[in-house]
Amino acid sequence: MKKLKHISVIVLLLTFSYIIVLKTGNKTEIAKELNITLNTSNLITYKDSHDKFHGDGLTYAEIRLGKKDYDLLVNTLQSGSKWTTYPLSDIIEILLYGKNGQGSYIKDPEITLSTPQITSGYYFFNPVSDFPEDTEELSHGFSTNVTIALFDKNNGMLYYYKYDS
């Protein structure tokens, strides 16, 4: 009986360790791509469906920034970076929220997005080199491969989207 109890404790510890490593790894990958620090932040949501044909899919994450990460990010963004101050550009508005009654262009049947309307913040936009500049081209079946991050300055939240279609 004691042996079974020890084995149960070990399995439980390994499971928790695995979950912690997964969350830390995902957060580290996002931080590296966005060139920011997420050491004191909490990964709230992480969903990834990039197991489709040719690696198509969506990675979506919600991260609550810790105080140190929040302050560092605000200072970095104010001193110049690849991030842009709100309001969103037309192309990002269409990608995330849609246009003329059409839903978001960034979507995946396996992942439900909760993209908030942010009034004060910054956004990161990193499209592939052949991404259309004209919003009309999006509706013509153009391949959409892009990374977008939204930083909600009022709520200390970071929303991350990596979409490959």
Phi/psi of residue 158, nearest 5 degrees:
-120, 130
| Lowest-confidence region among 15-19, 78-82, 122-126, 150-154 | 15-19
Q: Per the structure block, which two tokens stand in for 87?
A: 């309001």
Count of other CB atoms within 10 angstroms of residue 162: 21
Structure confidence by residue, pLDDT tens digits, 40-60: 999 999 999 866 556 678 899
pLDDT value at 120 more than 70: yes
Could you give the C-alpha distances from 134 to 92, 126, 142, in angstroms and in order?
Answer: 11, 16, 11
Q: Structure pTM?
A: 0.77
**Cis link prior to 116 (omega < 30° from 0)?**
no
Question: Is 111 within 8 Å of 154 (Cβ atoms)?
Answer: no
